[in-house]
Amino acid sequence: MSNLNQPVKIGTITLDNMTVFAPLAGITNLPMRLMAKEEGCGLVCSEMVSSYGLVYKSRKTQKIMDSDVREKPLSVQIFGAEPAVMAQAAHMVEACGADILDINFGCSVRKILKSGSGSALMRTPDKAKAVIDAVRKAVRIPLTIKIRTGWDRSGSQAFETARIAEESGVDAIAVHPRLAHQGFGGRADWALIKAIKDRCRIPVIGNGDIATAEDAIRMQQETGCDAVMIGRGAIGNPWIFSQVLALSRGEEMETPTIDMRFDMMARYLGASVAYLGEESACYMLRSRLGWFVKGMPHSSRFREAIKHISSEADAIDVIENYRKVIRTADY
């Protein structure tokens, strides 16, 4: 059995264990990261941050940078394609107190690709190297990158990007083994994680299709990766981190009770209101609170009701009314 409870070192930073909460645009904000940390996650990552937004002091971008000492160590991910701008943004991230800086080489959203950022960098190795070199010179904190398979199934672009990264002083590489155009479709090719791990001396973090604690253990066993990065599997389910750690110790995993789910939902609501303000938080949570009721009876009824909340009190009423429904259901 793999022991994902072991510490892992990324540059000068030592993580308590080998679990990482993936950077997810629009999702891994401060309240979400704190939930993962409370469940034992070794490293939490910010949403991806625009290098231009940082340099030109966008209010929205600066809000994404908010952090809390309780979530440390924190990795902040930036994206962009202009070396000088990326270097300046990286310096600003370090000055804000981030423990690790990550460069996005994996986003395949059209808007990002058009700017030459994200997965587009994997098509242009010279530019990729220029970006990495500029950022590496700009900061002293550990530097990581997150990549995909690239644009063809051979994985050649992933191998080349990993080689450039290691030679340029990157401290770890996270690998999401899907093609750029796949998005989250199809299956993640874990064999690519192993292939990159076999080629690299720096830590390799595996990512993709970890929906359960058993998946995390299996990924580490099959690929030999130095840590596992969990993204969608942790949305509405922060307990996956404590389950991974328990299973890797050979202990029985705790399945969250109904009340644990609802209590976490209420805490997420309160933390989001405190972080964003009531109006913005309620707008955001209309689509997010439904994550916590996946698989529960009458969950469609809850998701419909939550679409209409306009205040924290409204949301609490919906949550508590649904809690009563679930308690009387055969669940």
Distances (CA, A) of 125 to 98, 132, 212: 27, 10, 35
The answer to whether residues 65 and 105 touch, using CB atoms and an 8 Å cutoff, is no
Specify the pLDDT at position 331.
44
Identify whether the C-beta of residue 146 lies closer than 8 Å to the C-beta of residue 207: yes
Residue with tokens 């609170």: 289
In this structure, what token pair is assigned to residue 29?
């904000």
Query: What are the mean pLDDT values of the chain's consecutive 10-residue runs (331 residues total)?
Result: 88 98 94 97 97 93 92 98 98 96 94 94 97 98 96 92 98 94 82 97 97 97 97 96 96 91 94 96 94 89 93 95 82 44
Per-residue pLDDT at 330: 53
- For residues 105 and 168, the answer to whether their CB atoms sit within 8 Å is no
φ and ψ at 301, to 5 degrees? -65, -40
Is 96 noted as a catalytic residue in this protein?
no
Q: Which of 107, 200, 225, 282 is catalytic?
A: 107
Residue 228 to residues 96, 170, 215: CA-CA distances in angstroms?
26, 18, 10
| pLDDT score of 180 | 77
- Give the β-pairing of 13-15 and 19-21: unpaired
Query: At 101, phi and psi to the nearest 5?
Result: -110, 135
Given this model, what pLDDT does residue 295 score?
86
pLDDT of the residue at 83: 98
What pTM was estimated for this model as a whole?
0.94
Token pair 């299996």 is found at 218
Check residue 329 and give its pLDDT.
67
Q: What are phi and psi of 310, to 5 degrees?
A: -130, 0
Domains of the chain, CATH where assigned: 8-248 (3.20.20.70), 258-328 (1.10.1200)
Residue 1: its pLDDT value, please?
Answer: 56
